[in-house]
Structure 1
Amino acid sequence: MEVCSVDVFRQAIPLTKPFKTALRTVTVAESVVVRIGTADGRAGWGEAPPTVVITGDSLQSIEAAIVHTFAPLLLGRSVHTYERLLQSVHQAMVGCTSAKAAVDMALYDLLSQSCGLPLYRFLGGDKESLETDFTVSVNAPEEMGEDAVQYVRSGFRTLKIKVGKDSIGTDIERIRHIRNLVGSDIKIRVDANQGWQPKEAIRSIRQMEDMGLDIELVEQPVKAPDIEGLKMVTDHVDTPVMADESVFSPAQAFHVIKCRAADMINIKLMKSGGIYKAQLINQMAEEFGIECMVGCMMESRIAATAAAHFAASKRNVTRIDLDTPLMMKQDPVMGGIRYEGPVITFPDLPGLGITDVAGFNRTEA
């Protein structure tokens, strides 16, 4: 399976409703799509959305990295030497993890195709289906409450509530209002996206505990580099704390695990640079009894399919946050994962199961 082409194109899909966090507002989901072709006629698909405020990657930097740096490393090489290929990709550039992830998932797509297996089975095959949460964007408490009720009526049993943009009092009111509307049977996760200081995070989480709001977990309450602050929060609250932006690489995961700075880790392929490194993070976490969630950036069903296959393959991945394709007005992907409300299922096809992507315009590297 020799790589004979590396093609890229851009896609832009409007969202049904603006996606708002403490860090940004998104109205259109943009990404770079990569298609790696082999001499025997197979195609592997990957995708990388720009998330400048988190990964530092823009559309231009992702495209340039794939076309000018990674494609020359792949062309003429066998997919079956994926250890060497992926090591070369990760060593060729510092950072640019989103571009690395797009190439990585396309290579794993091809590799599992050559074995005749869906990727989740090739990687481990722990689960046959997944259940995702749905994210409630940060808005006024009343609007967030309306959104939460709508998602619950659509079948979602877990909500991820974005906070961290305004005052602590407003954040607590958001959670209280939503809890009152959805009842006690719905799981609520809180994601501050680095929006709190350590002491105010402790104060707000303790207050939510005292109010009986029954929060399943709090994700990334403090700034990403502040591992001491993250540990302070983890040590002083009963609610489990999850590291997200603090963990991109296996080395960062090791630091968080060694310090016991968080109870859980959110793995995103766009942070880790793809499945290759994501597996290392998950395995390290599992050895120390730290469960992982698999999440995503503002990705279409291309990258979400790759993330879902990885999540389904690993026992230690116990929580899923792969809802972004459901926020988009159009779906350009043919094949790939299917959504039945919150339930994600996989086609019985080799690789990612993606057969084509609408609007693909060939731009050969």
Structure 2
Amino acid sequence: MNIKQIETYQVKIPLKKPFKTALRTVINAETIYVKVTLEDGTVGYGEAPPTLVITGDSLQSIKYCIEEVFKPILIGQSIKQIHRLLESVHRSIVRNTSAKAAMDMALFDCLAQVANLPLYQFLGGYRDQIETDFTVSVNEPEEMANDAQDYIDQGFSILKVKVGKDEIEQDLKRIQAIREQIGPNATIRLDANQGWSVKEAIYAIQKMEKLGLDIELVEQPVKADDIRGLKEVTTQTKTLIMADESVFSPDDARKVLETRSADLINIKLMKSGGIYHALKINHMAETYGIPCMVGSMIETKLGITAAAHFAASQPNITRYDFDAPLMLKDEGISGGVDYTKKIITLPNTPGLGVHGINKKYIL
């Protein structure tokens, strides 16, 4: 079961509506697909979107890594030695975590097919359905409140609200407007995307607590490298604090876990470099009694399918942020996970369950 061929494709799919955070505005989902073919004809797929402001990866760097760095060391190697293959991938170049993630997905897809198991079962098989949140982009308070109500009306019960783009009082107006609009029953999570200072975060979260806005958690309130500041926010507030951009690698996770700097960790395959290291991060967090969320970038259903397989396989992963394909005008692939509003069902076909790429969007 040796690797025969590795191919890359550049894909571009428009969003239904611009996606705005404290870090960027996205109009199109631009991404790189990778296709791995084994000697027996087995085909595995992976995806890597460029997210310059978070991972530093570009379309060009992802494509180069896969074709010029990973391909030469993987062609001819046995898929059954996946740990050795992935160690070679991770040692071959520093950072470039999105390119590593795409390669990792495709290799795991192939191996699970060889084992004749859906990937989530191959990895542990804890559950076969999960519930995603839906993200409310940063806009004016009234528009965000209307968007939030629209998502509730569509059947979503958990909203992830983007904040941190401008002054803190404006963020508080946004959150109040949303809570007043949707009522008390829906769950609200906030994602500041590093947009607040430590003092702003503590002030805002304590004020939200006093106002009874019932925020479930606040994700990455401060700069990614400010672990001390993240810990201060965690200790000075009652609301759960989640580390996101602060944790790329298992070593990053160790620093957050040992210092008790966050209550939760958001694992993203594009940060960790794929499932191989994501499993390590989750197991470390579980040892410390820290639950994890699995999130995503602006990915098509291909990347989300891989992330969902990983997330569904592990009991310590309790929250899921997989709404990106619902923001796109097309899924980009055939097969993969199935969406019934907020419920995602994992496919029961071997591997990722991806049948092919929609060639309409290949550039």
Where on the TM-score scale, by shorter chain, does this alignment land: which range?
A: over 0.9
Q: 353-362 or 14-23, which moves further after superposition?
A: 353-362
Asked whether the equivalents of residues 234 and 240 of structure 2 are also in contact (C-alpha less than 8 Å), the reply is: yes
Q: How does 1:1-365 map to 2 (within 5 A)?
A: 1-359=1-359
AA paired with 1:61? S
Cα deviation per residue 1:152-207 (whole Å; 9 max; x = unaligned)?
01110000000000111110110111001111110000000000000110000000
Shift of 1:362: 9.9
Partners of 1:185 and 1:362 in 2: CA distance: 42
AA paired with 1:25? T
Partners of 1:360 and 1:248 in 2: CA distance: 33
AA paired with 1:230? L
Cα deviation per residue 1:252-300 (whole Å; 9 max; x = unaligned)?
0000000100000000000000000000000000001000000000100
Asked whether the equivalents of residues 22 and 138 of structure 2 are also in contact (C-alpha less than 8 Å), the reply is: yes
Partners of 1:127 and 1:187 in 2: CA distance: 22
Partners of 2:67 and 2:146 in 1: CA distance: 44
Asked whether the equivalents of residues 249 and 272 of structure 1 are also in contact (C-alpha less than 8 Å), the reply is: yes
TM-score (structure 2 length as normaliser): 0.99
AA paired with 1:114? V
Relative distance call for 1:360 and 1:83 in structure 2 (3 A) is farther
Asked whether the equivalents of residues 6 and 71 of structure 1 are also in contact (C-alpha less than 8 Å), the reply is: yes
Secondary structure of 1:356 counterpart: strand
Relative distance call for 1:251 and 1:54 in structure 2 (3 A) is same
Provide the identity percentage. Answer: 57
Number of residue-to-residue matches in the alignment: 363
Asked whether the equivalents of residues 217 and 242 of structure 1 are also in contact (C-alpha less than 8 Å), the reply is: yes
Shift of 1:101: 0.1
Secondary structure of 1:200 counterpart: helix
Note the aligned Cα RMSD (angstroms).
Answer: 1.1
AA paired with 1:65? C
Asked whether the equivalents of residues 9 and 360 of structure 1 are also in contact (C-alpha less than 8 Å), the reply is: no
Shift of 1:347: 1.8
Partners of 2:358 and 2:190 in 1: CA distance: 35
Partners of 1:296 and 1:73 in 2: CA distance: 28
Gap regions ≥5 residues in structure 2: none
Q: 353-362 or 13-22, which moves further after superposition?
A: 353-362
Shift of 1:332: 1.9
Partners of 2:300 and 2:11 in 1: CA distance: 9
Asked whether the equivalents of residues 299 and 325 of structure 1 are also in contact (C-alpha less than 8 Å), the reply is: yes
Gap regions ≥5 residues in structure 1: none
Asked whether the equivalents of residues 241 and 263 of structure 1 are also in contact (C-alpha less than 8 Å), the reply is: yes
Partners of 1:97 and 1:12 in 2: CA distance: 20
Asked whether the equivalents of residues 164 and 194 of structure 1 are also in contact (C-alpha less than 8 Å), the reply is: yes
Secondary structure of 1:32 counterpart: strand
Asked whether the equivalents of residues 11 and 361 of structure 2 are also in contact (C-alpha less than 8 Å), the reply is: no
TM-score (structure 1 length as normaliser): 0.98
